[in-house]
Amino acid sequence: MKLSLGFSPCPNDTFIFDALIHHKIDTEGLEFDVYFDDVETLNQKALKGVLDISKLSFHAFAHVAAQYALLDSGSALGFGVGPLLICKDERFLDPSQLERSSPSIGIPGVLTTANFLLGIAYPNLQNKVLKVFSDIEESLLSGEIDLGLIIHENRFTYAEKGLSRIVDLGSFWENLTGCAIPLGGIVINRNIDPEVQHKVNRVLRKSVEYAFANPKSGINFIREHAQEMEEAVMYKHIELYVNQYSLDLGTEGRKAIDILFKMATEKGLIPEINQSLYLNP
C-alpha cells in the first residue's frame, strides 16, 4: 500500500524519516510518496486534506483534528526549543518600544505554533508579514521587517549575523505552564483504515528508534535537504528537537498538547474540539 507523506526538509524531520522512506527498517508492506515542504505549506495542505500523513504545527492541527489523528511518534516537543523573537535594531530590546511603535514582524506562518505563542505573549503585536521561515533573517538584515519570529535552525545562526534576541517564547511557555512546548506533530488521515493507521504508527516509531541507534546513518539525506549545511549545526538542531517525545508522546507529552489546546480555545484562537486528538485504541 502506498501513502502520501509530507514533512519539512529540516534536519529533525529528515533524521526521523530517513529509515522509514529508505527501507532501513521493515515498513510492513507500506510505501510512501514523499513531499518536502516548509511547515506553513504543510499546514495549508492539511486544511485541504491533501496528504495521507503529514507533519504540521499543533496550532494547525487544531483546525483539522476532525480529519486527522495525531500519531504517538514523530512529534517535536521539548524544553528550550521554542521560537525566538529577534531584531536588528536594538531599540526593540526595550519592551516599551514593542508596545508604542507597531513594528512589522516576519512570521513563519499564520497557523504555526510560533505565531500562536507570539499572540499569547504579545497580543498587541498585529503588524505581521508572512515569510518562509528561512527568509526571515535576511528580511531583517535588509530592513524589510522590524522583528523576526524564527524557528528551526535559524536559532543557531541569527547571532552570528548581528541580530539580537528579544524573547525566547519557549521559555515564556515553560514558565507559564511548566510543560514542554508542543511545536509540531505527525498526523494521519482518519479515513484511512484503522489497522493501517496503527501500522504507520508502529513503523514511524521503528524509524525513530533506528535513527537514535544509528545517528549518522542518514547524514547524506539530512545534508541534502538542510538549509544550514554545517554538520555540527545540523546535529545541534536534531538534538534540540528530537527527544523522548519524538519516540512516544507519553502522558507528559499529551498533557502539554492538551494544555496548549485548552488555552488556545479559551482565547478564541482555535475552534472547540469535540473528539480525541489521538489515534483510537
Identify the sign of the CA torsion 155, 158, 160, 163: negative
Q: Is 98 annotated for ligand binding? A: no
Q: What is the pLDDT of residue 197?
A: 98
| Amino acid symbol at 137 | E
Domain 2-78+180-266 and domain 84-177 have a common topology: yes
pLDDT, tens only, 102-154: 899 999 888 888 898 898 888 889 999 999 888 999 999 999 999 999 987 78
How large is the angle between the packed helices 113-121 and 169-177, nearest 10 degrees? Answer: 70
Mention the CATH class of domain 84-177: alpha beta
pLDDT recorded at residue 244: 95
Residue 73 counted as an annotated binding residue: no
Rounded-to-integer distance, Cα 70 and Cα 279, Å: 6
Instruction: Find the helix or strand (DSSP H, E) in which 174 lies.
Output: helix 169-177
Whether 113 has a binding-site annotation, put simply, is yes
> Where are the alpha helices (H) located in 69-112, listed in sequence order?
95-100
Is 101 a known ligand-binding residue?
no
Cell digits for 231?
554538520
Which of the residues in the chain have pLDDT under 50?
A: none
CATH class of 2-78+180-266: alpha beta
The residues annotated with a catalytic role in the active site are 152
- Edge-first strand order for the sheet with 164-168 is 128-130, 105-107, 147-150, 84-87, 164-168
The CA distance from 203 to 50, in Å, is: 21
Rounded to 5°, the CA angle 114-191-48 comes to 45
Q: Is 88 annotated as a binding residue?
A: no
Give the up-direction half-sphere exposure of residue 66: CA atoms within 13 A in the CB hemisphere: 8
Q: What is the pLDDT of residue 228?
A: 60
Q: Kindly report, residue by residue over 259-271, the tens digit of the pLDDT.
A: 999 988 887 878 8
What are the boundaries of each domain within the chain? 2-78+180-266, 84-177
Quote the pLDDT of residue 249. 97
Residue 158: partners with Cβ closer than 8 Å, 6 or more residues away? 84, 86, 137, 148, 150, 165
Dihedral in degrees, nearest 10, Cα atoms 223, 248, 24, 68: -80
pLDDT at 269: 79
Output 266-271 pairs: Cβ under 8 A, ≥24 positions apart: 267/119, 267/120, 269/59, 269/116, 269/119, 270/59, 270/62, 270/63, 271/62, 271/63
Nearest to 280 by CA among 210, 223, 201: 201
